[in-house]
Structure 1
Amino acid sequence: MKNLPRSLLGGALLALLGNAPIYAATSADLARLGNELTPIGAQKAGNADGSIPAWTGGLTQAPAGWSPGHGDPFAADKPLYSVDARNLAQYQQLLPEGQAALIKAYPGYRLDVYPTHRSCAIPTEVAERSKAFAGQARIGADGWRLEQAVGAAVPFPVPQSGIEVLWNYKLRYMAKGRRAQISLLVREKGGALTEVRQWAHEYYPYNDAAVKDSGDTDGMEAKLLYDVLSPSSRAGEMYLVHAFLDKAQSSWIYFPGQRRVRLAPSFAYDNPIAGSDNLYFVDQINMFTGALDRYDFKLLGKKEMLVPYNSFRLVDKANKYEQLIGQDYLNRDVQRYEKHRVWVVEATVKADKRHSFAKRMFYFDEDSWSLLHVDMYDAKGNLWRVQEGSLWADPEIQACTSFEYVSYDLIARRYLADGFTQEGLSLDLTAGQQGRVTDKMFNSNELRRRGER
């Protein structure tokens, strides 16, 4: 692959030392920020053949009539080409293995490739702080915990290891808090569509510039609150999740029939999600969530690939779930792919740990640090699950965001869609700025109070 990190000094040394952050970015590396690199570390220039344009600041002004879930700034674009079973060999080098496997597995599955728009903006404060504090964050002696990172900044804008890329993803800017009505959707083998609809409230303390170190957030990475609306058999259930910087997440469940809040010790790693028919693990939420302690993360470099991007048509509220969720795969007419540069990270389970996925391949957008695609393998090296995420620019928060995620199980030959907002009542990314989502909402007492209303 091109653009391998300057300081890895060979595969043998890396294999010996695993995930250890052997080298930090040099002052010369960091001086590139804001010059040939964007303030958060992407290459400003386009590629050699012009299929990837230069980054010029992203989508900072909302087009007339646009709001989240309504309208497409690039609606006039036409596909450049489509990738399917007939021409897969021509484009396979631009695809993750999982996309090639889906094309081979399902007749009619295709990728419609559109002109590339580098639409992800960077809030001024995040740009300034990422440059100002570049080089300060550290990885702990255990090889995975984050230390000395500040809020509203990418901790490792010039990453030198896979673990640094993972932390850039986990602390990427998405605004301090957001809320939406989201749905988890599964098409049964007999054709019926099942839905779990819920309110999702999300709070990201590290998106606040007031955070000077982890002590300011009580070691917290994120707080999540889910309030189940349907089906009727589960209505009123609530789930509270605290994700930490240095340990596995804690979670609580409220059961309306018992009117009790209980600690949920198994809501982490590869435990199945309720209502997912065992198609979805906890740490697949939002593409990847939870502690980083079970894997070694190897940075393979940066590569040009075809990835889901500018998914405005997918998230449009004119869509209905019955039309979106096909029997074998998501409606291809609403999916948009573009060529972008992505960071590639290989995760393998540590020798003294266990996980159902023995290996994962991650593909991160260089402009936003969003995770766009994950391939997951079993202990025998077989490709098991394939997951992709939506990505679209929201000028309200001056950044890109994601909600919709799709996970395909190649062994069960079924798939699941999560975080879908098209039929939900609200898609509110400024809830944190406007006080509609606050830190006070995310505790077990609040869970109990909401349940007893």
Structure 2
Amino acid sequence: MQKQANTPFRPRVVGAALALAFTATLSINASAAVSEQEAARLGKDLTPVGAEKAASKDGAVPAWDGGMTKVPAGWKPGRLDPYKDDKPLYSVDASNLDKHADKVPPGQAALIKAYKGYKLDVYPSHRSCPAPDIVAERTKKNATYARIGDDGWRLEQAYGAGVPFPIPKSGVEVLWNYKTRYTGLGRRAQISALMPDKDGSIVETKQWFFEMYPFNDPKTTTLKDVEGIDSKLLYDVLSPPSRAGEGYLIHAYLDKPQDAWIYFPGQRRVRRSPTFAYDNPIAGFDNLYFVDQINMFTGAPDRYDFKLVGKKEMIVPYNSYKLIDKKNKFKDMLGTEYVKRDFMRYETHRVWVVEATVKGDKRHSFAKRVFYIDEDSWALLHVDMYDAKGNLWRVQEGSLWAAPEVGACMSYEYQMYDLVARRYVTDNWTAEGEVLDLTAGKEGRVNTATFSQDELRRRGER
């Protein structure tokens, strides 16, 4: 993640309702907790976090058996792939796309058509995401308690460390499940943002990345305990030398747009940056990357209306252990047009499909976004982004892998493809980083003081 640019790539547009090619849709209603009878399904035919426990009819999606709850021998993030012996069941490419079109997101289909050699290698599906006891307990409470505010997007009340809406009735409920999904209290990692060029060169920005998710703290019983905080992020730029010392601090909220601050080493000052949000481009990425694409989607959802399209079996990135493997080097993983296919793993899973369209009185360069959110982890695995004319513009895919020491599935690496510019960017890549610390929050290596303006300044001046 890097400093914002001063001018947007395209004029911002007023959104309009755009059709999505699925038959079954669920209408948007005012949020309300489900009945005790519905909530009783959790832990029975539904998993503790609301996924369907049973296998799919054809067996492509297996039954959930608790996920990866035990730490495999030799496990350390980036040092072990529990499914390394799996072989692809089949590949989806230009020759057979029509056969699998109903399970391939439009963005992936567009990439297959656009780039020679782009394909999806589909592996056996493993429902590896666990649900710790505290998450199961809080989720069951939330089912009859959590609510969205009268404005249609604020998370008004919910218990922490649990899924707010395990049996969702609206698209914005699914989105909040994603934003507050359990991934532990805090993490720290050395990451790289990478932008391949058409001449084969790669622009790399190395950073320390610190995260904190107060809602995930088991001590959180009401939203007052987290003072309205959704997440806190801090980026400390290490290289290239021309940018070393730059820093970025983001406080995202449950009920208002995010706050952001930037440290400029040349000025030795921290400056508040109210424009570091929504569709403002991030500098250093040739206008390929907007602020609210960070971590797949960040910031307030107040500019969109969200429609819950339904649940569908789709081919999505899953168990992405190859992407974090410390044996791999970025130069070997990145092609000039896309991430090399040997490093990507796709599986068939059930996902919630949510269509977001810009409100009539709001503005955003993406007039429509379609989100694909995993039923087991509530992680956002894929996003298709459309311009004002209804044309598919950008495609973003996430990653997912189970971390048994946390009791949850993690999402780090993600890729963003621009179909107009015919270029792509990756961010949060950790394979060459020395540190990937998933329990930093629990063990005190990341805490509230980490995400202060004083800390941002201290790190820049060190």
- Report the TM-score, using the length of structure 1 for normalisation: 0.95
C-alpha spacing 1:442/1:98, structure 2 compared with 1 (3 Å): same
Q: Does 1:308 align with 2:313?
A: no
**Paired residues of 2:366 and 2:388 also in contact (CA < 8 A):** yes
2:73 aligns to what? 64
Q: Does 1:89 align with 2:104?
A: no
Q: How far apart are the structure 2 equivalents of 1:365 and 1:273?
A: 27
**Paired residues of 2:103 and 2:313 also in contact (CA < 8 A):** yes
Q: Does 1:177 align with 2:177?
A: no
1:34 aligns to what? 43
TM-aligned CA deviation for residue 262 of structure 1: 0.6
SS in 2 for 1:233: helix
1:218 aligns to what? 227
Larger deviation: 62-71 or 383-392?
Answer: 62-71
**Paired residues of 1:2 and 1:302 also in contact (CA < 8 A):** no
Q: Does 1:123 align with 2:132?
A: yes
What is the letter of the counterpart of residue 169 of structure 1?
Y
What is the letter of the counterpart of residue 211 of structure 1?
T
**Paired residues of 1:71 and 1:313 also in contact (CA < 8 A):** no
Q: Does 1:51 align with 2:60?
A: yes
What is the letter of the counterpart of residue 430 of structure 2?
T
**Paired residues of 1:343 and 1:365 also in contact (CA < 8 A):** yes
1:167 aligns to what? 176
Q: Does 1:435 align with 2:454?
A: no
Cα displacement string for residues 199-229 of structure 1 (whole angstroms, at most 9, x for unaligned residues): 0000000001222222211111000110000
**Paired residues of 2:245 and 2:459 also in contact (CA < 8 A):** no
SS in 1 for 2:224: helix
1:229 aligns to what? 238
**Paired residues of 1:196 and 1:275 also in contact (CA < 8 A):** no
Tell me the C-alpha RMSD between the 2 structures: 1.4
- Report the TM-score, using the length of structure 2 for normalisation: 0.94
Identify the match of residue 339 of structure 2 among 318, 330, 334: 330
TM-aligned CA deviation for residue 361 of structure 1: 0.5
Cα displacement string for residues 96-152 of structure 1 (whole angstroms, at most 9, x for unaligned residues): 000000000000000000001000001111111111332211111110001111210
Q: How far apart are the structure 1 equivalents of 2:222 and 2:405?
A: 27
Q: Does 1:273 align with 2:282?
A: yes
Q: Does 1:345 align with 2:354?
A: yes
TM-aligned CA deviation for residue 4 of structure 1: 5.9
Q: Does 1:374 align with 2:372?
A: no
SS in 2 for 1:133: helix
**Paired residues of 1:341 and 1:365 also in contact (CA < 8 A):** yes
TM-aligned CA deviation for residue 51 of structure 1: 1.3
Identify the match of residue 451 of structure 1 among 433, 440, 460: 460
Q: Does 1:112 align with 2:124?
A: no
Q: Does 1:321 align with 2:330?
A: yes
Q: How far apart are the structure 1 equivalents of 2:369 and 2:128?
A: 27
1:11 aligns to what? none
Cα displacement string for residues 171-212 of structure 1 (whole angstroms, at most 9, x for unaligned residues): 000100001011110011222110011000000000012222
Cα displacement string for residues 306-340 of structure 1 (whole angstroms, at most 9, x for unaligned residues): 10000011210111111111000001001111000
**Paired residues of 1:24 and 1:160 also in contact (CA < 8 A):** no
SS in 1 for 2:449: helix
TM-aligned CA deviation for residue 451 of structure 1: 2.7
Runs of 4+ more than 3 Å apart? 1-5
Gaps of 5+ in 1: 9-13
Q: How far apart are the structure 2 equivalents of 1:181 and 1:448?
A: 19
SS in 2 for 1:393: strand
**Paired residues of 1:182 and 1:200 also in contact (CA < 8 A):** yes
2:214 aligns to what? 205
TM-aligned CA deviation for residue 24 of structure 1: 4.0
Cα displacement string for residues 401-442 of structure 1 (whole angstroms, at most 9, x for unaligned residues): 011000000000000001000111101101111111011111
**Paired residues of 2:161 and 2:217 also in contact (CA < 8 A):** yes
Gaps of 5+ in 2: 1-20
2:148 aligns to what? 139
**Paired residues of 1:393 and 1:399 also in contact (CA < 8 A):** yes
Q: How far apart are the structure 2 equivalents of 1:303 and 1:195?
A: 36
Q: How far apart are the structure 2 equivalents of 1:42 and 1:168?
A: 12
TM-aligned CA deviation for residue 3 of structure 1: 11
Larger deviation: 58-67 or 223-232?
Answer: 58-67
Q: How far apart are the structure 1 equivalents of 2:175 and 2:36?
A: 22
**Paired residues of 1:198 and 1:227 also in contact (CA < 8 A):** yes
Question: What number of residue pairs does the alignment pair up?
Answer: 442
